[in-house]
Amino acid sequence: MAITQTGGTQEFGPTTSTIASLVVESISVTNTAERVDINNGDGEPVGSTIVPGRVEMTATLQLGEGSVPAIGDSVSLSQGNFFLTEVSEEEAQADYVRVNVAGFKEIT
C-alpha cells in the first residue's frame, strides 16, 4: 500500500500506475492455499480442509524510461490487476528499463 499526498491530505491505499509502454518478459502466477486440520473435542484430527489464499505474481517487466511503478501501484496484466509489493532497482538497457516486480491479485 502506498501513502500518497493529494491536495495537502495524505491518502493510504493502492494507486493505479499509468505506464506508457509495457512488455512482460516473464511472469509466474501462483495460486496459494493453506491446509487447515479439523479436530474433535479431544484434539484428535478428524479431517482437514483447504482455504484458498492470495493469487501471487512475480514478473520481469520492460518499461519505457521514466515509467517505473512503485510499491503499492496497481499494474494491469492479462491475468488481472495486481498490487505490487516488491519492485527492484531499475536496470537501464538502451531506451527502456527492466524491473523485477512481485505482487498479489486484486480481489474482485
How distant, in Å, are the alpha carbons of 14, 37, 46, 57 from that of 50?
Answer: 29, 9, 14, 21
User: For residue 88, what is its C-alpha cell?
Assistant: 527492484
Burial letters 56-72, b for 16+ CB under 10 A, else e = bbebbbebeeebbbeeb
Overall domain count for the chain: 1
Locus of grid cell 524510461: 65
Q: Which domain holds residue 81?
A: 2-105
Cut 0.85: pTM above it? no
pLDDT tens for each residue of 22-39: 788 888 999 989 999 999
**Res 2 pLDDT > 50:** no
**pLDDT score recorded for residue 1:** 42
pLDDT tens for each residue of 51-89: 999 999 999 988 876 678 888 888 887 788 889 999 999
